[in-house]
Chains A and B, each alone.
Chain A
């Protein structure tokens, strides 16, 4: 059964005279627990697609359903709740907050939840232990290596156990050995049931995925786009995961 359904996603920028089509009627379905790689040349629309899947960039046309929730029909603040409860992000350049320690960076997605301080602490330490950084909790991001930063970012993305992980070039800044370690972590995570959508330029990284979606000029060129229209997914209210809602 499809967990994530993108239907005819279109994103245009600019006015009618100088309109740029970043994404053109892209549609696909991803099952729960699937590991999908998105590949394509620079400017093919990968990042735009990822930002739309991340509930941060409303499409000009088309719909996105995750767990039968029509994401862009949610009010703006509920979209924030959706991101907190359903999604984890791993960014290419880590995007750690420089004045917070490794542990505090990992705890960030839990800050606005109702969990007690001790539980937040335990969850963050568990996530850091899972990525092998249990001994680096008190360090600042500037005091750890690039590979460790990526693992901190991964720990932050999974600390609240989101069902979907979105990763944008997670190994883009890493050497091949460290890249392999990070991809292994992603694979382990996927085997634990997390749905992963990963944007990558690397064919080697793409081999970890079960399926590859290829984009060119904003169109999907190497996948069955399917036709999962809104009629099939009437939508349901965003279910609040116990304890996560602020």
Chain B
């Protein structure tokens, strides 16, 4: 028999009081776990939605261009020193520190071409990353390959072209492989083709006009990503679509701060429950502790018994609190209703954290009762005779 057997047997003997301590800690831990899980699921959800927005960073060459637009009416631009980015420099984007957060990098070659007497914007894009950068695209037909173009919805209407029609672009015979469904964006008025083909047609071999980047901002703020890309492309201007990201993240962070405050209060209350219950336990066990001391238990042995009891109950509370917290978060997200329902994960690190928090709170709260028990005068046992 060892000290831990005494602790375990006493827990089993005082089921109601052990249960009360357990419940106090479970509520605290479940609150913390539930909030963390909920916030993480919401963060993942926001990131998932942001990814749906496609590119959230634009990389364009530095230019001395003055925009001539007023009241939403664009009058065209005057370019004094239009530069292009080299394809080789675009590859350097993958060398940034947070390159794991790059979901997609899509170089674009842009230029005007003439089709049937109409000037149209031709965009050469990398169609391998198009599903990430333009997730809203719906193509009637298919994405273009070599010798093919895809038309925006308005471009197809104005040029009176449909899937399968031949079209001559800058004197080159090409075929229409697909037509985009209306997007409500500038894409409706553009001709799309492969990057290489556009570079050839536009006479921009090895050059790109801009780069669209989709960054995952869960582990890295968008400002940091733009700063890192600027670092590897000093000749380019890097712009983050910050408003959307900042606004939603700020709301989430405010909720996070508030929730963590609530969690701290719940844990404090859980600790008080442990403290008060264990103090009552120690008082009830005066005679028993006196006997332990009388037969040669050192003060530290008595403290160890109290700490073991608190530690065992706290560890169980950590496990139950984790399960309840994750379950509560899942329920909360389920009740949240329609739309994308974020996945609730059983993260091992959160499980370990929950058990650790429960044990630390339990042990801290039991320190005073343990000290009280250890300092009990063994003579009290004899006085009780």
- Which residues of A are in contact with B by a Cβ distance under 8 Å? 47, 50-51, 54, 56-57, 76-77, 80-81, 83-85, 89, 91-93, 95, 97-100, 104, 107-112, 117, 120, 156, 168-169, 246
The residues in B between 292 and 325 inclusive whose CB is less than 8 angstroms from any CB of A are: 292-301
Contacts of A57 in B (CB 8 A): 379, 382
Q: Which residue of A lies closest to B2 (CB)?
A: A111
Closest 9 CB pairs of A and B: A84-B296, A99-B13, A56-B379, A56-B378, A57-B379, A83-B296, A109-B295, A80-B298, A107-B1
Do B298 and A108 have beta carbons less than 8 Å apart? no
Minimum Cβ distance to chain B for residue A168 (Å):
6
Main secondary structure of the interface of B (DSSP, over half): helix
Do B9 and A99 have beta carbons less than 8 Å apart? yes
Interface status of B360 (Cβ within 8 A of chain A): no
Q: Which residue of B lies closest to A55 (CB)?
A: B378
Show 6 residue pairs from A and B whose CB-CB distance is below 8 angstroms, ordered by the A residue: A50-B382, A51-B382, A95-B291, A99-B9, A108-B295, A246-B298
Contacts of B1 in A (CB 8 A): 104, 107-108, 110-111, 117, 120
Q: Which residue of B lies closest to A96 (CB)?
A: B291
Do B382 and A112 have beta carbons less than 8 Å apart? no
Minimum Cβ distance to chain B for residue A110 (Å):
8
Do B298 and A77 have beta carbons less than 8 Å apart? yes
Do A80 and B297 have beta carbons less than 8 Å apart? yes
Interface status of B3 (Cβ within 8 A of chain A): yes
Q: How far is the CA of A76 from the CA of B5 in the complex (A)?
A: 25
Do A112 and B301 have beta carbons less than 8 Å apart? yes
Minimum Cβ distance to chain A for residue B2 (Å):
6
Do B293 and A91 have beta carbons less than 8 Å apart? no
Q: Which residue of B lies closest to A58 (CB)?
A: B379
Do B385 and A168 have beta carbons less than 8 Å apart? yes
The residues in B between 178 and 193 inclusive whose CB is less than 8 angstroms from any CB of A are: none
Contacts of B291 in A (CB 8 A): 95, 97, 108
Contacts of B65 in A (CB 8 A): none
Contacts of B3 in A (CB 8 A): 111-112
Q: How far is the CA of A51 from the CA of B2 in the complex (A)?
A: 27
Q: How far is the CA of A89 from the CA of B287 in the complex (A)?
A: 14
Which of B1, B13, B378, B385 has the most A CB atoms < 10 Å from its CB?
Answer: B1
